[in-house]
């Protein structure tokens, strides 16, 4: 089993999501990840993360994060408008 640092793990999920979104084959996905991550990963490591991406959990986490960020940005814009008045 591959062992990844915390930083590598944080980078891997978006890379695997890219591979799914772009419709890469296994070979293309592993090459893409190797080029971006700087190291080779096993097919088991790839499919483990791909399963998480395909399950929708990763997408739900991503949407939740960006909804929170979007809410804060919009709230700040409203505060700035009120302060101008």
Q: Which two tokens stand for residue 76?
A: 């700040």
For the chain, domain boundaries? 6-84
State the pTM of this model: 0.65
Span 7-27, mean pLDDT? 90
pLDDT at 1 over 70: no
How far is C-alpha 9 from the chain's CA centre?
A: 10
More confident residue, 9 or 55: 9
| Long-range CB contacts (within 8 A, 24+) of 53-62 | 53/13, 53/16, 53/17, 53/20, 54/20, 58/13, 58/17, 59/17, 62/17
- For 20-51, the pLDDT digits (tens) are 888 999 999 999 999 999 999 999 999 999 98
């Amino acid at each position: 089993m591959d062992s990844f640092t915390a930083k590598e793990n944080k980078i891997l999920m978006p890379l695997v999501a890219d591979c799914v979104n772009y419709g890469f084959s296994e070979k293309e996905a592993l090459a893409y990840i190797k080029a971006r991550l700087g190291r080779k990963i096993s097919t088991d490591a790839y499919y483990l993360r791909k399963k998480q991406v395909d399950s929708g959990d990763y997408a739900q986490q991503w949407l939740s994060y960006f909804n929170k960020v979007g809410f804060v940005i919009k709230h700040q814009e409203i505060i700035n408008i009120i302060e101008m008045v």
